[in-house]
């Protein structure tokens, strides 16, 4: 090769670094060995070798949530890609920018049913925002730049680039594409005026805020808007950290099936502004807040992608603009606050605070997990980063943690189990000087817990908390609702999680008695290094809101 050309694999590494990538999570494969070779000399990108493609992808999703940049994951063809698909679905569900590189069979083998050959356009067409197979090395750089930009534009999400292994050896022009800039649209003056008029006439306005405001600027803009106009703020599932939960304007967390009194109170709103959320079934509480397709109150929906607006709800004012810019613009509009608005905020906040309280119960089959979470919340540094896996146990974290609008948190809004450990590992790598807590159930922790080996290999020091209630808790709750006292397919037999963690090199801690909680939590948090705390928790105390016997009593009308 002359000085003006380079190998496509080397160009790929240089382009990714130029786009801003500084870390890549991967499981190696023969189909992209040339790219791994190129990374050997590319010091700008830290290559994190993982133990399973699902864990690698989830780490990339978590890293994207923490940085606001696309997460980067590389996997091999066939099984590697299928294993990684769960992370792409998570990214799609929670609007997270993710770039997935997949090794592919050589070009002359395509379409012949070659070993581990998959058509990724068909496979990921329903999940990814875009799928490209680069058949000419000369088009690799421009394809990467296009994919990188698409992952962040409109509704952020996953993109896939398929890399035929022989293409990576093509000689290509060494020139780099221009840095990617994704424009952020502001709100039009006429639309801003209409929003201001709708707000001025509302005595009971409500903001539903979501992931589109999860940045330092977005959080600050949301807080200022709420304070300036006295508007209560409800937060979407897994995004409770973006607004101060101790604020008198806090209006609750719209997680799965929150108690009816909270929903009924929020339904009294005479204006709903959904800002930075697509308003799926979870934040809308089954399309009841607001009601679909026609809300009972005026509805303003702010999301950067016009294709989302009006898709489910008839919207009085759909605004395809940057959510933070909208908040800032509306804050600057002078408007009198109706006197009744203060009473409305107080009413909503009182209900939210009552439901957010955690009162642990005594159970015969183990500890109420809320007691341990409450103690962790009391003793952990305020700026701890919290990663939560999917499961009922996370409800106690949502309720008990002192979210003040400044902390970073990682959650699986898509509901897939397995994010807890990889999320905590990714956070510990990104913020090595902070306490990182990963909460997982006994189901999810064994789906991706092997990534503790990745943490040890990279010198990361997450602290993992496992709720060991010996059942798939969320499924068991629904089973008891639909088929009471007929347990089938939901019980678990678990290992000694503390000993399991120590086999990886972590320090293991266990809690089985209430009297031990404060002391062991203190030892766990003060341990200098990675650690795992397993809690023998109660299956009877199946969620933060209800026990199994309480559920049965409710069903009987008792």
The CATH number linked to 436 is 3.40.50.970
Low-confidence ranges of the chain (pLDDT < 70): 1-4, 558
Residues 433 and 385 both lie in one domain: yes
Residues 381 and 301 both lie in one domain: no
Residues 140 and 9 both lie in one domain: yes
Q: What does each C-alpha distance from 9 to 26, 143, 280, 477 come to in angstroms?
A: 16, 13, 40, 50
Whether 18 and 179 have beta carbons less than 8 Å apart is answered as yes
**Cβ density class 197-216: b for 16+ within 10 Å, e for less:** ebbbebebbbbbbbbbbbee
Residues 194 and 337 both lie in one domain: yes
Whether 105 and 83 have beta carbons less than 8 Å apart is answered as no
Name the one residue in this structure whose structure tokens are 């408007």.
335
Q: Would 397 be classed as within a structural domain?
A: yes
Residues 398 and 265 both lie in one domain: no
The number of folded domains in the chain is 3
**Which of 356, 390, 414 is the endpoint of a domain?**
356
Give the length of the chain. 558
Residues 431 and 543 both lie in one domain: yes
At residue 4, the pLDDT reads 67
From the CB of residue 371, how many other CB atoms can be counted at a distance below 10 Å?
25
**Which of 329, 356, 383 is the endpoint of a domain?**
356
At residue 1, the pLDDT reads 47
Name the one residue in this structure whose structure tokens are 């009816």.
260
Residues 352 and 375 both lie in one domain: no
Domain membership of residue 143 as a residue range: 5-173
Residues 213 and 273 both lie in one domain: yes
Label residue 353 exposed, middle or buried (CB < 10 Å: 0-12, 13-18, 19+).
middle
Q: Would 309 be classed as within a structural domain?
A: yes
Q: Would 183 be classed as within a structural domain?
A: no
Residues 335 and 267 both lie in one domain: yes
Question: Quick one: residue 489, left, alpha or beta (phi over 0 = left, psi -120 to 50 = alpha)?
Answer: left
Beta strands in 110-229 (DSSP E): 130-133, 158-164, 171-173, 205-209
SS3 187: coil
SS3 402: coil
SS3 87: helix
Q: Would 184 be classed as within a structural domain?
A: no
Residues 384 and 531 both lie in one domain: yes
Q: Would 388 be classed as within a structural domain?
A: yes
């Amino acid at each position: 090769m002359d000085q003006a050309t380079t190998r496509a694999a080397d160009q790929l590494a240089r382009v990714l670094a130029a786009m801003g990538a500084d870390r890549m999570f991967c499981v190696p494969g023969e189909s992209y060995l040339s790219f791994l070779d190129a990374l050997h000399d590319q010091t700008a990108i830290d290559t994190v070798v993982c133990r399973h493609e699902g864990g690698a992808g989830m780490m990339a999703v978590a890293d994207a949530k923490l940085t606001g940049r696309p997460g980067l994951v590389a996997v091999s063809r066939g099984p590697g890609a299928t294993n990684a698909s769960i992370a792409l679905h998570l990214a799609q569900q929670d609007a997270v920018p993710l770039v997935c590189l997949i090794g592919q069979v050589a070009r002359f083998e395509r379409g012949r049913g070659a070993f581990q050959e998959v058509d990724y356009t068909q496979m990921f067409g329903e999940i990814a925002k875009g799928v490209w197979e680069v058949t000419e090395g000369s088009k690799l750089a421009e394809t990467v730049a296009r994919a990188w930009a698409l992952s962040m534009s409109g509704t952020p999400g996953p993109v896939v680039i398929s890399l035929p292994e022989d293409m990576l050896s093509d000689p290509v022009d060494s020139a780099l594409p221009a840095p990617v800039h994704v424009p952020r649209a502001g709100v039009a003056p006429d639309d801003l005026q209409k929003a201001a008029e709708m707000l001025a006439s509302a005595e009971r306005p409500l903001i539903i805020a979501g992931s589109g405001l999860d940045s330092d600027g977005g959080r600050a803009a949301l807080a200022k808007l709420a304070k300036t106009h006295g508007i209560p703020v409800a937060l979407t599932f897994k995004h409770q950290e973006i607004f101060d939960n101790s604020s008198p304007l806090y209006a609750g967390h719209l997680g799965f099936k929150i108690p009816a009194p909270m929903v009924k109170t929020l339904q009294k709103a005479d204006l709903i502004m959904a800002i930075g959320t697509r308003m799926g079934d979870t934040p809308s509480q089954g399309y009841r807040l607001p009601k679909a397709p026609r809300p009972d109150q005026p509805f303003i929906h702010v999301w950067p992608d016009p294709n989302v607006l009006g898709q489910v709800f008839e919207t009085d004012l759909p605004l395809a603009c940057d959510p933070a810019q909208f908040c800032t613009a509306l804050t600057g509009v002078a408007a009198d606050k109706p006197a009744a608005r203060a009473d409305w905020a107080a009413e909503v906040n009182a209900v939210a605070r009552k439901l957010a309280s955690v009162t642990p119960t005594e159970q015969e089959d183990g500890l109420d997990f809320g007691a341990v979470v409450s103690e962790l919340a009391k003793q952990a540094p305020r700026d701890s980063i919290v990663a939560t896996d999917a499961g009922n146990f996370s409800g106690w974290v949502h309720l008990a943690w002192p979210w003040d609008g400044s902390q970073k948190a990682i959650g699986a809004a898509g509901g897939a189990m397995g994010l807890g450990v990889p999320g905590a590992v990714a956070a510990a790598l990104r913020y090595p000087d902070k306490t990182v807590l990963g909460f997982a159930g006994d189901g999810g922790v064994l789906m991706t817990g092997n990534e503790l080996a990745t943490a040890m290999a990279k010198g990361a020091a997450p602290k993992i908390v496992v709720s060991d209630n010996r059942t798939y808790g969320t499924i068991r709750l629904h089973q008891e609702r639909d088929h009471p006292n007929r347990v089938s397919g939901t019980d678990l037999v678990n290992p000694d999680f503390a000993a399991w963690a120590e086999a990886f090199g972590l320090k293991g801690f266990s809690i089985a008695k209430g009297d031990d909680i404060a002391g062991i939590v203190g030892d766990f948090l003060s341990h200098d290094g990675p650690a795992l705390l397993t809690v023998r928790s109660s299956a009877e105390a199946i969620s933060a809101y209800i026990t199994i016997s309480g559920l049965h009593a409710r069903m009987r009308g008792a």
